[in-house]
Amino acid sequence: MLALNAHMQRRLVIVSFLIAPLSLLILFSIWPAIQLVWFSLTDWNGLSANKNFVGLQNYHTILIEDQALLKPLINSAYYFAGSVLQLSLATYFAVILNRKMPGSNLFRMLLFMPFVLNAVAVSIVFRDFLQIDGGLDALMHLVGLGVYTREWVQDPEIVKWSLVFASIWRYLGFQLLITYGALQAVPTDQYEAARIEGATEFQQFLYITLPTIAPILGLQLILATVGSLEVFEVPFLITGGANDTKTFIMATLEEAFEFRRVGLAAAMAVILLVFVMMVMIVQRTLFSKGERA
């Protein structure tokens, strides 16, 4: 055995603990990302052994020549609108559940359960639920609302909102859990003091709860924005992109595997990455200003 001094031992422990996560990170995250950027500068078709370097041609195509490729990004707006609604719902439920009402554990579990379910399974369940004469229609007939049934995933005016609804259902629990966690950290004595001073429930929420959980809400807003740019499973499995429900990720995949333009698709992925980073930077700056105030 080598005699090691305390300093060396410390180093050895740090290095050996870091090897596993770092090599996994490099192998599965950083290296593919570097490759993605490299592919985006080539005209690779995804099969051939040759990749020709084409410089920024792919970016030029997407941003200038053929802007139709960016059109699916518009659909992200629907999901973003949905995620704002989702965030308010999650906060609402979290505040209610935080008040130790009877059965709150049960409700918490019920609301969180969709997030534990596999996204593909959720999408398939919703596809059947929203189909013509599917679960939703049957339910509406049962409670006497039969005349209001619509073609939920076919009517071009409704389909996007139906998909947003499915998405809200799935991710609500996750946001609820994070907000709920933040609420637990609010000191109870502040509420007591406020009650003694005669503050209403709404005033308590506005002046005590909201400022405390604001950083968490900001974080969730970033996650929601990124999430709405990257929507994939729900529209892919429910409509397959029919009636203009194609998202940017679906368009990227189609470009890569249907039209065999992996280079162009890689450039689309890089553009999305840059977009997401920009959103995060903007929100971070806005948000850290708010914190100082």
Partner 1 sequence: MKTSVIAWKALPVASLLAAGVSISSAGDIGGEITFYTHFSQFVDNGDWERWAGEFEDRYPGTDVEVLHVGNYRKEMPTRIASGDYGDVLNVLDNLPPSDYAEFYLPLNDMSLADTHTFVDRYTVDGNIYGYVYGANAEAIVYNKAAFERAGIESVPTTRSELFAACDRLKSEDIVPFQINMGAGWPMQQWDKAALLFADDGSYYDKALMDSAPYAEGKPYGESMRFVRELFEAGCTERDYTANNWDESKMLLGAGEAAMWFLANWSIPQTIVAGESLGVDNVSEDLGMFPLPVNDSGNPAVLLWPDWALGVSAKSDNPETAKAWIQFLLTETDVANASGFIPGDPRIAPEMPQLVELFAGEPRIIEASTPSSEFKQAMADARLDFMTGTYIRDLVLADDFDSAIDDINTRWSRALPQ
Rounded least distance, CB 23 to partner 1, Å: 22
212 binds partner 1 (CB under 8 A): no
Q: How far apart are CA 144 and CA 81, in angstroms?
A: 30
**Conformational region of residue 103, where left means phi above 0, alpha means psi within -120 to 50, and beta covers everything else:** left
131 binds partner 1 (CB under 8 A): yes
DSSP classification of residue 53: B
Q: Which residues are within 8 A (CB) of 192 and not within 5 positions of it... i.e. 6 or more apart? A: none
Q: Give whichever of 131 and 204 is closer to partner 1, judged by the CB atom.
A: 131
49 binds partner 1 (CB under 8 A): yes
32 binds partner 1 (CB under 8 A): no
Near partner 1 by CB under 8 A: residue from 258, 289, 291, 292: 258
SS3 letters for 185-249? CCCHHHHHHHHHCCCCHHHHHHHHHHHHHHHHHHHHHHHHHHHHHCCCHHHHHHCCCHHHCCCHH
Q: How far apart are CA 266 and CA 91, in angstroms?
A: 37
What does the CA dihedral 82, 219, 267, 70 come to, rounded to 10 degrees?
Answer: 30
Near partner 1 by CB under 8 A: residue from 47, 64, 196, 293: 47
Stretch that binds partner 1, among 19-27, 78-86, 111-119, 130-138 (CB under 8 A): 130-138
240 binds partner 1 (CB under 8 A): yes
Rounded least distance, CB 58 to partner 1, Å: 14
Stretch that binds partner 1, among 51-59, 94-102, 131-139, 278-286 (CB under 8 A): 131-139
The residues binding partner 1 (CB under 8 A) are 46-49, 68, 127-128, 131-133, 153-154, 156, 159, 238-243, 254, 257-261
